[in-house]
Amino acid sequence: MRLRPYRRGDIDRLAALFADPEVTAFTRLGLLTRAQSETTLEGYLAVWRGRNLGVHAALLKSNGEYAGECGLFIPESGGDLALGYAYRRRYWGQGFATEAARAVLDDAFGRLGLKRVLCFVEGTNDASHRVAEKLGFELERIDQIPKGALHAYAMTAAQWASRGYSSSNETAGE
């Protein structure tokens, strides 16, 4: 998996990703129209310009094909940055979310020097619960939202380091 910041030319890829109801069933943004995807992309680009971090386009190393996205976002509640990702259905269950998330977390705790990162998973999203737990996130609380339970996971830089992951990664932030 190769990660790079989104570019304006990625709009067709992003719009297709967020037009799929199965892909967006558990995303914080939900199903988006093309116009909403354009607004989302502009927001991604603004965060990259302002903070040199954000959501990456996730591309296959073998052929550069767009698989989805993974990166850090600012939760609506503010506070610590959160890990988020969404992948095209054809790439589910192949370990891409975990691989890309590791690169993003290496960057978060390395280059960015973050002390803590959150990860939010809806109660019925079993695959994302497994990803969060595999990465070493610990369940902090469960909130009730209109769609049901929202599990808030957290990880500190010390917890990440204790798992033996590197603090420098060439994949994130390209």
pTM comes to 0.90
Per-residue model confidence as pLDDT tens digits over 60-88: 999 999 999 999 999 888 889 999 999 99
- Tell whether 174 is covered by a domain: no
- Name the residue range of residue 58's domain: 2-162
- Tell whether 40 is covered by a domain: yes
Burial class (CB in 10 A: 0-12, 13-18, 19+), 58: buried
Per-residue model confidence as pLDDT tens digits over 112-152: 999 999 999 999 999 999 999 999 999 999 999 888 899 99
- Tell whether 169 is covered by a domain: no
- Tell whether 82 is covered by a domain: yes
Contact between residue 13 and residue 75 where contact means Cβ atoms under 8 Å apart = no
Number of domains in the chain: 1
